[in-house]
Structure 1
Amino acid sequence: MHLHDVWFLLIAVLWTGYFFLEGFDFGIGVLTRLLARDRTERRVLINTIGPVWDANEVWLLTAGGATFAAFPDWYATLFSGFYLPLLVILVCLILRGVAFEYRHKRSEERWQRNWEQAIFWCSLIPAFLWGVAFANMVRGVPIGPDKNYAGDLLDLLNPYALLGGALTLVLFTFHGAVFAALKTVGDIRVRARRQAAVLGLATVVLAVPFLGWTQADSGNARFLGACAAAVLALLGALLMNARGREGWAFALSGVTVAALVAGLFLALFPDVMPSSLDPRWSLTAQDAASSPYTLKIMTWVAALMTPLVLAYQAWTYWVFRKRIGTQHIPVGH
């Protein structure tokens, strides 16, 4: 296996890890309006991700940085062609982080309500736009002979991409509902399980046409296998959720997210940015890669640092593993 193939695989793993972790993060943000009934319950939901949300976003920085270093042409074409949606995602992530930190600084209802609105919308919009972006990347976008994006914003808002955005939004919210059931106690835990059941069925309704469309358009045997894993994991998560086995339900919902993202990368390879104008103008992993020396240095750094990062993040989740409920929120907070 060539180094550019190894780094395509590593970048796929980084994006998969990001969506696995940030997926339930976004889902919790959306559920602050769909599940929580009052400010106290919204505080409970926010506290479930309070210690980990910023660490989850490190995966995005790593994935973006690795793409820039390992595949500079891929990075340049992707971020220039998808400039506006990626800018919206970036602004949302900034506002979302500020909202988490500033919501509790003052006790006025209006102050907290405005920041809670920011958390909701800045979770919902990225969850949708990431699906739009990755669906377009797999489907193919207008790329000219100079390897530059030759389309406009309307080219990105096609039915297939919008279906992909709806799928990721509902899937991440389902993932978040299962996580909420795992991390809470009392009435909110029961309602989170009920919400997860509804969201899981909605995910099935959206996943079947999206995966079928992808398979018909650009799929292969590898993608079909990932689809089967995603569907089976989703059905298993629904079953475990119905039985009250929140740990298994969360693990299987995470497998669903991971299998879906992995499937998209498997459908994409060996291209990194297919051209919808002419297949000869598509960017491939080999053509878009950095020099072998650069990839070799990156491989050594990744081999040394990745286990440390994984160990630290696993330790963080272990420390903050206990459930919380409304009884843990002090009166007046």
Structure 2
Amino acid sequence: MDWSELLLPAPSVIGQLGSLLLTASAKDLQLAKDDQLNASKSLLESMILIGGDAFYAFFDAQTGIDNIIRRRFNDVTVSEHIKIVVDMHINGQGNQTLIVRKDLNNIKEMAELHSNQMKTVVKAFKEVYPLIEKLTIASLEQQKFVAEGSAGSEEKLTQTVAQLQALGNYWNQTTNFFQSFAIMVESKWKTKLIDFIDSVENVTKIERNFTKSATNATKSAYDRMYKSAFHATIIDYRINHLAETFVAVSETFFLRMLADVRTLAGVDTDSAAFTNSQQRLDAYIRAAPQQIMRKLVEENDRFNKGCSYYCLWLPIRG
């Protein structure tokens, strides 16, 4: 999966938000009121609301994904819990059920927490798009009421509709990144962790009822545990690496600029602040995608180098 392709629309989201706020600040447009759409009468007021929700969606994403990196139980990561459990069985300590069970419970709890966290992030992003869609429809409706001869207003509305449609498109593309990440956490990471837990419980059960005739079953159970530990550790490394990469990109390129964009509402169009904001936004739109791509390439190289060393402790058999 090309994660860079999924993440690169985000700067365009921020750019469109900023452009729309500047447009509304330069000439606020009154929109057709539609109670069913619950659309505001003012473009500026509507964009302030959407900008706020967009900021908090990105903020929730930053917080939620950062928790994947920082979430530990007793200062032990998921991969370290896996290693502890495997080592105990290798060293003949698998019969210490309480210790093993505690580590397995910690793994399972972290899997549930991260899965639920990502579902919350996706929900926050999905809730913003209907607001953009409603405002787009309200702007389209307003075009029907623009009086003949109001060429300036009609042109401004046409521009606004195009910007809103672009914003909605970029927003959906950005949402796809978080949906894909959430699916990876749920269907791959969590699934691999649960499979590892099941394999350990199977080994424990066989060891408890061990007989000489069960030697082949024991070997098969151990092989499954080693392999599931390997796969769970690899996907855990991948998830953590993606989380670290997103947080680094988000802190530098998303949250700071979004916070800056929110200050554009109502800026005096004749002021130096308005001109500076416009120039800063234009520079961001031009430079951010290339800078993000460079960062993603660097992180991908780091992932490929690190991955080859990450699971060397696992005695994979079979």
- Smaller-chain TM-score bracket: 0.3 to 0.5
TM-score by length of 2: 0.35
TM-score by length of 1: 0.34
Larger Rg: 2
